[in-house]
């Protein structure tokens, strides 16, 4: 109970009257006062990662167009390009860490075997529910424009910067 | 005055049971408070009809003496990236602005079956990509502890689950669900002065949680006390056939010892020195130092340990995040669900336009960067390399928790959650999203890399009157000890989650 009435709260003065006997006077903690030599480092622990912003990073128009095609989103401004570049430089920081003989960790549950369920239908018959979120449907079909047409890309798209 | 506000969940449901208060009244009051505190922007959508219906049903069950669980009739809120059948689930994005899921996320399904009352869906950074809850199509969430809530003088709530943290901190609900990929539950919990738990990866089902980084995402829990957190975890945890990445071992309900029975003499606390990084505020350092001292005075063994790969973690996290985002976001094409552009020249054109219109610049840049890092020529250099370093980071934790002699091991790690108290919106917004996350997630994302549980608990107020919180981490599936130590600290520091002027003003 103590936890919930650690002190008299100003916003429920009248309500706590009956609980007063439960209130144990809490001694205000002094955060400057310690009883033991502290184990918490009092100065920052230095880190050594290479400054990767020095490296000149060139991303050519071809690569940008490839990324836009793969991502199906547009790199729409000089700002976005700058962010992309700085994100790559940020990623470069770990390049020098020694990972010889260290296997990639894909999942923290790697010691657990992934369970396969039986190939049986357990739910379904919900066509209306599933189709309900589509903007355009025709009878029981989703509708999309013609396929097999490559994304239109113009070089000038990126000459803004 | 709202006396029930200060009750814990157990006490609240006990007063339901003995008829002192009804779930209907509490739900009414909660919905009322949510409206009065609208300025915080904690909710993107309230569900009053559903809430009142659920509250009535609950009241009926109490009358009949047939309650569903310890959480029956307790008002909760759910982050808007968890699917709720028939209730819009938007990820605070234009892409899913009209999306109404036909099914419930397992976390919500279990809470619903337990008899909780859903007040609404909470605000977040778009697709959970952020550390401030400032990148939402519904506008930013404000921190209830801000001195001034006007113009841009307010403090951020933290993110990405800022709405959930805010709703609990403002006393609107007793518990809220968030998600935690790199700190998205602990970070806002820290800034808003509430308890924020990131459980062991796989302990709580991700089914129905719209994915950000599949290998790190976990549902998170916000409450105003550790005891409440245990109640919620006991309700939502455990294997789920709909999520093959849940831990298959049956879940044993947590049972914490009574406060006076907690014996710290057998507990070994580690202080990982690398968590004192550049930028840690003096007040936070003082708080960390004092609580370590309190634990030692309480009988625990406290020693400094080293997790040498900690500082690399933020880079690895950022790489893996962007790569998984590039893959996860591929599902949004505007055909089956989500925003659909009007361009119908070709399928690809439609995809590209729908995505250009539906995603904000943060999402777009992460997709583009992720695809760059995954290019055939870059794959080994960035993606695989990051996964290798991820193993080193996980091994650091395994070493301090498992390997070596008893003298070298520890049970619990104590660190800051965030580097300072909540920043002012104007200062935070001046940085790029990547820099925001790199700073704000420094102490939190390593736990996601290793899949271990971690909890943020508020300790005291800073000079600016804002909560300062610390993080505890333990080995995988050791939530019981983690929360036991947390509840010991909670009792020592006596932090009052509701003692701020906005909580008071809204209700007087």
Residue B400 near residue B307, CB atoms below 8 Å: yes
Smallest CA-to-CA distance from B495 within B471, B467, B453, B472 is with: B467
Structure tokens, B277 = 């990084």
Q: Report whether pLDDT(A28) > 90.
A: no
- What is the rounded average pLDDT of the residues A87-111? 96
- Give the total number of structural domains in chain B: 1
* Exposure b/e, B406-431, CB count within 10 A at least 16 = b: eeebbbbbbbbbbbbbbbbbeebeee
Measure A85 CA to nearest chain B CA, in Å.
8
The pLDDT of residue B439:
83
If pLDDT is split at 50, 70 and 90, which confidence band does A77 have?
confident
Option in B289, B352, B432 nearest A74 (CB): B352
Q: Report whether pLDDT(A25) > 80.
A: no
Given the residues B22, B93, B179, B184, select the one marked as catalytic. B184
Span B375-409, pLDDT tens digits? 999 999 999 999 999 999 999 999 999 967 667 89
Q: Tell which of A29, A89, A105 to mutate to test the B interface (max B CBs under 10 Å).
A: A105
Is residue B365 one of the residues assigned to a domain? Answer: no
Measure B242 CA to nearest chain A CA, in Å.
10
Burial of residue A85, with CB atoms counted within 10 A of its CB: 0-12 exposed, 13-18 middle, 19 or more buried: middle
CA B223 to CA B234: how far, in whole Å? 13
Given the residues B22, B58, B79, B146, select the one marked as catalytic. B79
Measure B276 CA to nearest chain A CA, in Å.
5
Question: Could you tell me the residue range of the domain that residue B70 belongs to?
Answer: 3-265+415-507
The pLDDT of residue A24:
52
CATH number for the domain spanning B500: value is 3.90.1300.10
Kindly list the residues from chain B whose CB atom is less than 8 angstroms away from the CB atom of residue A105: 387-388, 390-391, 394
Is residue B343 one of the residues assigned to a domain? Answer: no
Q: Tell which of B103, B206, B245, B293 to mutate to test the A interface (max A CBs under 10 Å).
A: B293
Option in A7, A12, A105 nearest B391 (CB): A105
CA B215 to CA B327: how far, in whole Å? 12
If pLDDT is split at 50, 70 and 90, which confidence band does B214 have?
very high
Structure tokens, A106 = 């894909």
List, edge to edge, every strand of the sheet that includes B467-474: B43-46, B117-122, B75-79, B175-180, B218-223, B195-198, B454-461, B467-474, B412-416, B268-272, B301-305
The string of DSSP letters for B220-285 reads: EEEESSHHHHHHHHHHHBS--TT-TTS--SPPPPP-PPPGGG--GGG-EEEEEGGGS-TT--HHHH
Is residue B302 one of the residues assigned to a domain? Answer: no
Span A100-145, pLDDT tens digits? 999 999 999 999 888 788 899 988 899 999 999 999 999 999 999 9
Structure tokens, B251 = 């879940």
The pLDDT of residue B432:
85
User: Phi/psi at B44 (nearest 5 deg)?
Assistant: -90, -20
Residue pairs spanning A and B at CB distance below 8 A: 282
| Interface predicted TM-score (ipTM) | 0.93
Is residue B74 one of the residues assigned to a domain? Answer: yes
Q: What's B155's DSSP letter?
A: B
Residue B197, H or E segment: strand B195-198
Is residue B11 one of the residues assigned to a domain? Answer: yes
Residue B204 near residue B107, CB atoms below 8 Å: yes
Span B166-188, pLDDT tens digits? 999 999 999 999 999 999 999 99
Residue B145 near residue B155, CB atoms below 8 Å: yes
The pLDDT of residue B370:
98
Given the residues B22, B160, B205, B474, select the one marked as catalytic. B160
Residue B359 near residue B368, CB atoms below 8 Å: no
CA distances from residue A94 to A83, B250, B326, B386, B467 in whole angstroms, order as listed: 18, 38, 20, 8, 34
Span B26-58, pLDDT tens digits? 999 999 999 999 999 999 999 999 999 999 999
The pLDDT of residue B211:
98
Is residue B46 one of the residues assigned to a domain? Answer: yes
Measure A156 CA to nearest chain B CA, in Å.
17
Using CA coordinates, name the residue in chain B closest to A102: B388
């Amino acid at each position: 109970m103590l936890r919930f009435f650690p002190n008299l709260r100003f916003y429920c003065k009248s309500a706590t009257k009956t609980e007063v006997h439960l209130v144990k006077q809490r001694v205000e903690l002094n955060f400057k006062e310690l009883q033991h030599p502290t184990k918490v480092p009092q100065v920052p622990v230095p880190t050594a990662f290479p400054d990767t912003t020095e490296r000149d990073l060139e991303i050519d128009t071809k690569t940008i167009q490839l990324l836009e095609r793969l991502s199906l989103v547009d790199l729409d401004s000089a700002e976005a390009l700058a962010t992309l570049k700085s994100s790559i430089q940020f990623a470069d920081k770990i390049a020098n860490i020694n990972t010889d003989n260290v296997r990639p960790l894909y999942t923290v549950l790697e010691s657990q075997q992934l369970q396969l369920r039986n190939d049986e239908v357990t739910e379904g018959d919900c066509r209306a529910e599933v189709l309900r979120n589509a903007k355009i449907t025709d009878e029981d079909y989703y509708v999309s424009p013609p396929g097999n047409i490559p994304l239109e890309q113009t070089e000038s798209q990126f000459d803004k910067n | 005055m709202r006396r029930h506000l200060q009750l814990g969940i157990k006490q609240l449901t006990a007063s339901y049971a003995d008829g002192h208060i009804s779930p209907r009244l509490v739900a009414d009051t909660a919905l009322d408070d949510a409206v009065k505190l609208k300025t915080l922007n904690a909710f993107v959508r309230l569900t009053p009809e559903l809430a009142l219906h659920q509250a009535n049903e609950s009241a009926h069950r109490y009358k009949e003496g047939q309650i569903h669980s310890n959480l029956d009739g307790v008002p909760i809120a759910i982050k808007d990236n968890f699917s709720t059948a028939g209730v819009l689930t938007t990820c605070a994005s234009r892409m899913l602005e009209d999306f109404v899921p036909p099914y419930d996320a397992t976390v919500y399904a279990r809470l619903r079956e337990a008899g909780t009352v859903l007040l609404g869906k909470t605000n977040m950074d778009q697709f959970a990509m952020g550390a401030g809850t400032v990148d939402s199509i519904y506008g930013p969430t404000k921190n209830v502890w801000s001195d001034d809530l006007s113009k841009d003088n307010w403090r951020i709530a933290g993110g990405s689950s800022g709405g959930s943290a805010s709703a609990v901190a403002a006393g609107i609900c007793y518990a809220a669900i968030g998600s935690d990929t790199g700190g998205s539950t602990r970070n806002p919990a820290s800034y808003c002065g509430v308890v924020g738990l990131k459980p062991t990866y796989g302990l709580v089902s991700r089914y129905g949680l719209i994915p950000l980084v599949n290998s790190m995402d976990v549902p998170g829990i916000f409450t105003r006390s550790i005891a409440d957190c245990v109640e919620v975890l006991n309700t939502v945890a455990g294997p789920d056939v709909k999520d093959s990445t849940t831990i298959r071992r049956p879940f044993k309900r947590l049972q914490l010892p009574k406060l006076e029975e907690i014996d710290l003499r057998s507990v070994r606390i580690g202080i990982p020195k690398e968590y004192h990084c550049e930028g840690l505020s003096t007040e936070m350092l003082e708080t960390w130092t004092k609580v370590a001292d309190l634990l030692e005075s309480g009988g625990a063994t406290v020693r400094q340990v080293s997790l040498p790969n900690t500082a690399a973690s933020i880079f690895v996290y950022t790489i893996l995040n962007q790569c998984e985002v590039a893959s996860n976001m591929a599902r949004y094409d505007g055909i089956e669900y989500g925003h659909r552009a009007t361009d119908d020249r070709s399928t690809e054109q439609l995809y590209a336009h729908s995505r250009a219109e539906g995603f904000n610049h943060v999402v777009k840049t992460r997709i583009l960067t992720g695809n760059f890092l995954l290019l055939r020529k870059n794959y080994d250099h960035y993606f695989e390399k990051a996964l290798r370093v991820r193993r080193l980071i996980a091994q650091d934790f395994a070493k301090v928790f498992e390997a070596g002699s008893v003298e070298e091991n520890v049970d619990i790690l104590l660190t800051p959650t965030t580097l300072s108290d909540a920043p002012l919106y104007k200062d935070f917004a001046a940085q790029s999203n990547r820099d925001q996350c790199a700073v704000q997630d420094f102490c939190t994302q390593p736990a996601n890399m290793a899949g271990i549980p971690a909890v943020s608990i508020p300790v005291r107020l800073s000079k600016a009157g804002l909560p300062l919180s610390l993080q505890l981490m333990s080995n995988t599936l050791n939530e019981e000890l983690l929360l036991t130590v947390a509840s010991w600290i909670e009792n020592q520091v006596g932090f009052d989650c509701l003692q701020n002027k906005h909580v008071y003003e809204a209700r007087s």
